[in-house]
Chains A and B, each alone.
Chain A
Amino acid sequence: MLAALILILVVGGLVAWLAERYGANAPRWVAAVALALDGVLLVPYFARGFPDVGVWLDDVRWRWIPRFGISFHLGMDGVSLLLIALTIFLGFMAVAASWTEIKQRIGFFHFNLLWTLAGVLGVFLALDLFLFFVFWEIMIVPMYFLIALWGHENRAYAAIKFFLFTQVSGLLMLLALVVLAIIHYRDSGVYTFDYFDLLQTNLEVDTALWLMLGFFIAFTVKLPGVPFHTWLPDAHTQAPTGGSVILAGVMLKTGAYGLLRFVIPFFPEVVADFSPVAMGLGVAGILYGGMLAFAQSDMKRLVAYSSISHMGFVLVGLYAWNAAALQGVVMTLLAHGVSSAALFMLAGSVQERIHTRDMGRMGGLWTDVPRMAAIGLFFSVAALGMPGLGNFIGEFLVLLGAYRVDAPVTAAAALGLIIAPVYSLILIQRAFHGGAREIHRIRDFGARELAAMSLLIVATVWMGVYPQSMLNVSDAWVKNSLKGWQEGIVQTYSKPSDGRLANRRRP
């Protein structure tokens, strides 16, 4: 089943490419159908309920390169399930957002879109470090094409910058994971890249620090954390709307996922000492990103910098590493995914209509396009952390948990709550309020756009008033992660339902 999730998107991408000859809409429908199939596959996981014991909901393991102990090993627990659901949901949104915007090479566009998503799903599922790295690369290349081919005026620069940042940092990760595997081989005489085996590698503190940094930088570039964030504003701004949706909504989350799945469980000894640094970087991101967002006049750039600010909370929460903070991280990932995707779609719609992202040339849009303006208001308000909407839950829980670990840092992070309205409300003011600067005779949201936005609104409200439904899904993961941490054991995963992972438990 897990492999099918990825396979459907891979095949769907190829079919979409070929389907272009049957008309412009054919690739769009193929992409939508492929994503719908994936969505259907996910339903049983949610329907089955979530046991109190046992983290893994499903797993699959095939031999791949046995000589080096590399296997095709996928596994899904609560947190990956939530992130996969987010990926598929936002995949739909990306297809919807590209419906009228993309007019050239439609087939190839959807091929790249689906392959990016396939790579992302692989990243969220892989339990073999080599496989993880492969998926990590797979998602980057099609995204590069999305930016470079369908992007805006400065697309070549943005695409290359994106590629270099992620590629160089990916190299660090590759280096770190190969060294990790070699050290494991020296200790045990067995080559393996399997997640659970490598978890039990004993490391010298010095070595652990360097390896941890290799992974940490790779994931923090993706997250992004200050000071590795500068690829993001260019990539997000220049990407086509669908690309921005995937970048902000989904791809940033792979960085957070890497941190929570690998860095912290792998290197508990050094992570404890390193956490003040990471939390400090998080706070820096919150405040620095917020201040930069305020200064922008390009609408997409503003939203892009605000993402840096929001992801700062993720870094703070992850390194606080307690139940409230971790649940807060998961909620922030989900809620930010939805709200930033919506804001990028909105910015894309505005650009499609008035051919500019410059907020200095907008203003007064409320009069012309009240639906767009009201929806823009809604998501800006969600982004500034209004209770009752999803983003608040995440940030509140992060800060609630982090306060117990480090009160001064949390207080500094909370200053982000003051900066968030500063940049969110300036967006509203400059784009939608004020007197009209130019006469815009433009069309308000139509049925397709309204339907997409309504889904995003429902999701945001749902996360805001009944987050418990999602907290329950990730609950087992949180408990187990903390148990491993507290007992000084790397990680004690209980066996999955079918027992295939039973022998991988630490004695």
Chain B
Amino acid sequence: MLKYLALVPLFPLIGFLILVASQGNMPRRWVPWIGAGSVGVSAVLAALIGVEFLSGSFEPYRQMQWTWMRVADFQSGFSLYLDALSLNMMFVVTGVGFLIHVYSVGFMADDAGYARFFAYMNLFVFAMLILVLADNLVLLYLGWEGVGLCSYLLIGFWYDNPENGAAARKAFVMTRVGDTAMAIGLFLLFAQLGTLDIQSLMQRAAATWPVGSGLAALAALLLLGGAVGKSAQLPLQTWLPDAMAGPTPISALIHAATMVTAGVYLIARTHILFELAPAVLQLVAVVGAVTLLIAGFTALTQRDIKRILAYSTISQIGYMFLALGVAAFSSAIFHLTTHAYFKALLFLAAGAVIHSYHHEHDIFRMGGLRKRLPIAFWSFVIGSAALTALPFTSGYFSKHEILASAYQAENGVWFWAAGTLGALLTGIYSFRLLFIAFFGPENEHASEHLGFAMGIPLILLGALALFGGFVSMPLGSVFPREQPGELGILAAIVTDAAPFVGVGVAVLLYLTRTYPAETLTAPRWGEMLHRFWFSGWGFDWLYGKLLVDPFRWLAALNRGDIVDDVYRGVAVASQYAHRAFAATQTGQLRWYVAAFTGGAVLAIALGILS
């Protein structure tokens, strides 16, 4: 089966090409069969390949398609690499991806751009599969940019609203900032080590650079730049909340389950390089810890159901970065996987709410949806439980592993403390959402009509979110030196209690309203803090003032191109000269004679005097 690996990304690509070639003229009922079907076939194939791989010796499998570029000592090919790590990612992309495609069949059924939507989605799945299966960094970069493009196209899918376009451009340009850092990292790695093939690159890096080497640190830092851009971590996190402008299945697939975790994958994939740069690895943990807290606090204040989930995604990816930073790579990938289950579930459930309740996004205008939208409600209960890491849900296992590893790392108590505080925040904001949107007096205006296409993916993802934590990919073959973390008794109690405290706080603030949340924002400082958090800690404002506005101002100022003014100046000067000389041509003899005599006298005078 392994030799059919290349077909896994190929089917979505073919789906994309068929949908594009049909130019929107394909009968609507065929579109899902192509759009979702192609990903379904890939998922089945991926499963078969996975079974064969896992029953073998976990020996990495390479498949070369063709040479892409070969110039002197540089070579890069369309070649795929399958090991336990990329298999894990392939499962997530095709499996969760397929469920989301099926869901979209229902969700997008009435949209005019039905075929266009599935075309972009298929292209995305193709690019994402290339990203996770690439055996060299250039091909990985192809996937990396490809998913960025699809993200742009799908955020701006409803193009008639210019705000969506602005959000899409913001996402693309901000991630491009990170991508550019990553590209420079690639140039650096190639200049120093002479290859971009990931496996030999890692070998050479370990052989060439000692631990703590400056070049290794610089290279790792540049790759980290790419990772924080794609994964919406500090300081490039501000695009993700705006990306919620896209259709909800997109938010589930691209901006929760797969693309935004590409940064985590990249660091895990190049972990040998990062381990050569302990300082950068430490920085990864710091970025993760700070991001998870900032995003957690921000999520507390949001009103838009999707923005809450978006900040929650940023926060959960913060956990993954934290795990990477303390060298708990397999825990990071485990959390990536369970997060894909429960966050896809939450987004799709949010989509079900939006779909059933007049495209409403504001949770404060919902309330009491519990009875009317039972599937969405129970999906939210399960998803929130897993997100909060309540015991025995999938999120519990992965988050617990991360916090345990953080606790054991050097100086890890701080990381552990940040993660535990974050877990408490997670409890508050997820159950805040649940209580406000679904509890309270029954809402008469909503009615759930999801159909099989939307209902079944929710149920399956619900099952995964609940039980998915019991199975995890054995990643020992990829990360051989890893030790599982352990918590002391006290720390274990605190770790496990934090989410419950969070839920308890949410109950008091939003369900029983013993201490209504409004009392917190009533004082002046409370209101200011609320506004500060609501704005996402002012990052958008800062970047606007610091970068966007000056660039716009300068561009507008120089619209006519100041360099051209120099040449225009030359033209104007010669026109003036022309007029000046033309004025001397009067046709009057006396002037000519006078000028002639004067000139002659001057010439003679100069001759005598010199």
| A contact residues vs B (CB 8 Å cutoff) | 226-227, 229-230, 233, 291-292, 294-296, 322-324, 327, 364, 366-367, 370-371, 374, 381, 386-388, 392-393, 396-397, 399-400, 403-404, 407, 410-411, 414-415, 417-418, 421-422, 425-426, 429, 432-436, 465-468, 471, 478
> Could you tell me the distance in whole angstroms from the C-beta of A88 to the nearest C-beta in chain B?
25
> Could you tell me the distance in whole angstroms from the C-beta of B162 to the nearest C-beta in chain A?
5
Q: Assess whether A411 is in contact with B146, with CB atoms less than 8 Å apart.
A: no
Q: Assess whether B563 is in contact with A226, with CB atoms less than 8 Å apart.
A: yes
Q: Assess whether A296 is in contact with B559, with CB atoms less than 8 Å apart.
A: yes
Tell me which of B170-178, B341-349, B362-370, B401-409 binds A: B170-178
> Which of B72, B188, B555 meets A294, CB within 8 Å?
B555
Query: How many B residues are at the interface, by size bracket?
Result: 35 or more
A to B CB contacts below 8 Å, 9 in the list: A295-B558, A323-B71, A387-B141, A396-B183, A403-B184, A403-B190, A433-B160, A467-B68, A478-B71
User: Which chain A residues border B166 with CB–CB below 8 Å?
Assistant: 429
User: Which chain B residues border A374 with CB–CB below 8 Å?
Assistant: 20
> Could you tell me the distance in whole angstroms from the C-beta of B219 to the nearest C-beta in chain A?
12
The answer for the CA separation of A346 and B168 in the assembled complex, in Å, is 23
The reply on B165 being an interface residue by CB < 8 A is yes
> Could you tell me the distance in whole angstroms from the C-beta of A413 to the nearest C-beta in chain B?
10
The answer for the CA separation of A292 and B67 in the assembled complex, in Å, is 37
User: Would A467 and B69 be within 8 Å (CB), given that A295-B559, A399-B183, A426-B169 are in contact?
Assistant: yes
User: Which chain A residues border B561 with CB–CB below 8 Å?
Assistant: 230, 233, 292
The answer for the CA separation of A380 and B172 in the assembled complex, in Å, is 14
Q: Assess whether A471 is in contact with B191, with CB atoms less than 8 Å apart.
A: no
Q: Assess whether B187 is in contact with A435, with CB atoms less than 8 Å apart.
A: no
> Which of B23, B72, B180, B184 meets A323, CB within 8 Å?
B72
Q: Assess whether A388 is in contact with B146, with CB atoms less than 8 Å apart.
A: yes
User: Would A465 and B68 be within 8 Å (CB), given that A386-B149, A414-B180, A421-B169 are in contact?
Assistant: yes
User: Which chain B residues border A436 with CB–CB below 8 Å?
Assistant: 160
User: Would A403 and B162 be within 8 Å (CB), given that A327-B71, A387-B141, A468-B70 are in contact?
Assistant: no
User: Would A397 and B69 be within 8 Å (CB), given that A295-B556, A414-B180, A426-B169 are in contact?
Assistant: yes
The reply on B135 being an interface residue by CB < 8 A is no
The answer for the CA separation of A226 and B23 in the assembled complex, in Å, is 41
The answer for the CA separation of A425 and B23 in the assembled complex, in Å, is 22
The answer for the CA separation of A442 and B266 in the assembled complex, in Å, is 47
Q: List residues 69-122 of chain B with CB under 8 A from any CB of chain A.
A: 69-72, 74, 78
Q: Assess whether B176 is in contact with A435, with CB atoms less than 8 Å apart.
A: no
Q: Assess whether B169 is in contact with A429, with CB atoms less than 8 Å apart.
A: yes
Q: Assess whether B160 is in contact with A435, with CB atoms less than 8 Å apart.
A: yes
6 closest residue pairs by CB, A with B: A323-B72, A403-B187, A387-B142, A433-B159, A230-B564, A295-B555
Q: Assess whether B159 is in contact with A434, with CB atoms less than 8 Å apart.
A: yes
Chain B residue nearest in CB terms to A363: B162
> Could you tell me the distance in whole angstroms from the C-beta of B10 to the nearest C-beta in chain A?
13
Q: List residues 554-598 of chain B with CB under 8 A from any CB of chain A.
A: 554-556, 558-559, 561, 563-564, 566-567
User: Which chain B residues border A425 with CB–CB below 8 Å?
Assistant: 152, 168-169, 172-173
The reply on B551 being an interface residue by CB < 8 A is yes
Q: List residues 124-145 of chain B with CB under 8 A from any CB of chain A.
A: 138, 141-142, 145
Q: Assess whether B162 is in contact with A324, with CB atoms less than 8 Å apart.
A: no
The answer for the CA separation of A393 and B166 in the assembled complex, in Å, is 28
The answer for the CA separation of A291 and B72 in the assembled complex, in Å, is 34
Q: Assess whether B74 is in contact with A291, with CB atoms less than 8 Å apart.
A: no
User: Which chain B residues border A399 with CB–CB below 8 Å?
Assistant: 183, 187
The reply on B525 being an interface residue by CB < 8 A is no
Chain B residue nearest in CB terms to A420: B176
Q: Assess whether A292 is in contact with B559, with CB atoms less than 8 Å apart.
A: yes
The reply on B427 being an interface residue by CB < 8 A is no
User: Which chain B residues border A467 with CB–CB below 8 Å?
Assistant: 68-69
User: Which chain B residues border A415 with CB–CB below 8 Å?
Assistant: 180
Chain B residue nearest in CB terms to A395: B183
Q: Assess whether B173 is in contact with A417, with CB atoms less than 8 Å apart.
A: no
> Could you tell me the distance in whole angstroms from the C-beta of B13 to the nearest C-beta in chain A?
11
> Which of B146, B177, B190, B558 meets A400, CB within 8 Å?
B190
> Could you tell me the distance in whole angstroms from the C-beta of B71 to the nearest C-beta in chain A?
5
The reply on B275 being an interface residue by CB < 8 A is no
Q: Assess whether B145 is in contact with A421, with CB atoms less than 8 Å apart.
A: no
The answer for the CA separation of A292 and B564 in the assembled complex, in Å, is 12
Q: Assess whether B187 is in contact with A400, with CB atoms less than 8 Å apart.
A: yes
The reply on B161 being an interface residue by CB < 8 A is yes
Which of B66, B166, B184, B551: most chain A Cβ within 10 A?
B184
Q: Assess whether B162 is in contact with A468, with CB atoms less than 8 Å apart.
A: no
The answer for the CA separation of A302 and B522 in the assembled complex, in Å, is 51
The answer for the CA separation of A63 and B554 in the assembled complex, in Å, is 56
The reply on B156 being an interface residue by CB < 8 A is yes
The reply on B24 being an interface residue by CB < 8 A is yes
Q: Assess whether B567 is in contact with A471, with CB atoms less than 8 Å apart.
A: no
User: Would A433 and B156 be within 8 Å (CB), given that A295-B556, A418-B177 are in contact?
Assistant: yes
Q: Assess whether A417 is in contact with B187, with CB atoms less than 8 Å apart.
A: no
The answer for the CA separation of A435 and B161 in the assembled complex, in Å, is 6
Q: A407-B187, A433-B160 are in contact. List 13 more A-B contacts (CB 8 A).
A: A226-B563, A227-B563, A227-B566, A292-B559, A323-B74, A392-B145, A397-B69, A399-B187, A417-B176, A421-B172, A425-B169, A433-B159, A434-B165
Which of B159, B558, B563, B567: most chain A Cβ within 10 A?
B159
Chain A residue nearest in CB terms to B160: A435
Chain B residue nearest in CB terms to A410: B187
User: Which chain A residues border B555 with CB–CB below 8 Å?
Assistant: 291-292, 294-295
> Which of A291, A392, A411, A421 meets B184, CB within 8 Å?
A411
Q: Assess whether A421 is in contact with B160, with CB atoms less than 8 Å apart.
A: no
> Which of A371, A386, A465 meets B23, CB within 8 Å?
A371
User: Would A429 and B165 be within 8 Å (CB), given that A295-B559, A367-B160, A471-B71 are in contact?
Assistant: yes
User: Which chain A residues border B563 with CB–CB below 8 Å?
Assistant: 226-227, 229-230
User: Which chain A residues border B551 with CB–CB below 8 Å?
Assistant: 291, 294
User: Which chain B residues border A322 with CB–CB below 8 Å?
Assistant: 72
The answer for the CA separation of A367 and B160 in the assembled complex, in Å, is 9
The answer for the CA separation of A399 and B179 in the assembled complex, in Å, is 14
The answer for the CA separation of A295 and B555 in the assembled complex, in Å, is 5
Q: Assess whether B176 is in contact with A433, with CB atoms less than 8 Å apart.
A: no
Chain A residue nearest in CB terms to B67: A468
User: Which chain A residues border B177 with CB–CB below 8 Å?
Assistant: 418
The answer for the CA separation of A467 and B77 in the assembled complex, in Å, is 11
Chain A residue nearest in CB terms to B196: A400
User: Would A324 and B72 be within 8 Å (CB), given that A229-B563, A396-B138 are in contact?
Assistant: yes
Q: Assess whether B146 is in contact with A387, with CB atoms less than 8 Å apart.
A: yes
> Could you tell me the distance in whole angstroms from the C-beta of A422 to the nearest C-beta in chain B?
6
User: Which chain A residues border B180 with CB–CB below 8 Å?
Assistant: 414-415, 417-418
> Which of B20, B146, B558, B566 meets A291, CB within 8 Å?
B558
Q: Assess whether A414 is in contact with B176, with CB atoms less than 8 Å apart.
A: no
Q: Assess whether A403 is in contact with B559, with CB atoms less than 8 Å apart.
A: no
The answer for the CA separation of A456 and B265 in the assembled complex, in Å, is 36
User: Which chain A residues border B71 with CB–CB below 8 Å?
Assistant: 323-324, 327, 397, 471, 478
The answer for the CA separation of A421 and B71 in the assembled complex, in Å, is 27
> Could you tell me the distance in whole angstroms from the C-beta of A191 to the nearest C-beta in chain B?
36
The answer for the CA separation of A323 and B159 in the assembled complex, in Å, is 43
Q: Assess whether A230 is in contact with B567, with CB atoms less than 8 Å apart.
A: yes
The answer for the CA separation of A110 and B160 in the assembled complex, in Å, is 41
The answer for the CA separation of A404 and B78 in the assembled complex, in Å, is 24
User: Which chain A residues border B68 with CB–CB below 8 Å?
Assistant: 465-468
The answer for the CA separation of A415 and B142 in the assembled complex, in Å, is 18
> Which of B66, B72, B179 meets A466, CB within 8 Å?
B66
Q: Assess whether A364 is in contact with B179, with CB atoms less than 8 Å apart.
A: no
User: Which chain B residues border A407 with CB–CB below 8 Å?
Assistant: 187-188, 191
Q: Assess whether B176 is in contact with A421, with CB atoms less than 8 Å apart.
A: yes
> Could you tell me the distance in whole angstroms from the C-beta of B376 to the nearest C-beta in chain A?
31
User: Would A434 and B72 be within 8 Å (CB), given that A230-B563, A381-B149 are in contact?
Assistant: no
The answer for the CA separation of A485 and B160 in the assembled complex, in Å, is 55
User: Would A471 and B183 be within 8 Å (CB), given that A292-B558, A388-B142, A403-B188 are in contact?
Assistant: no
> Which of B161, B173, B191 meets A421, CB within 8 Å?
B173
> Could you tell me the distance in whole angstroms from the C-beta of A381 to the nearest C-beta in chain B?
6
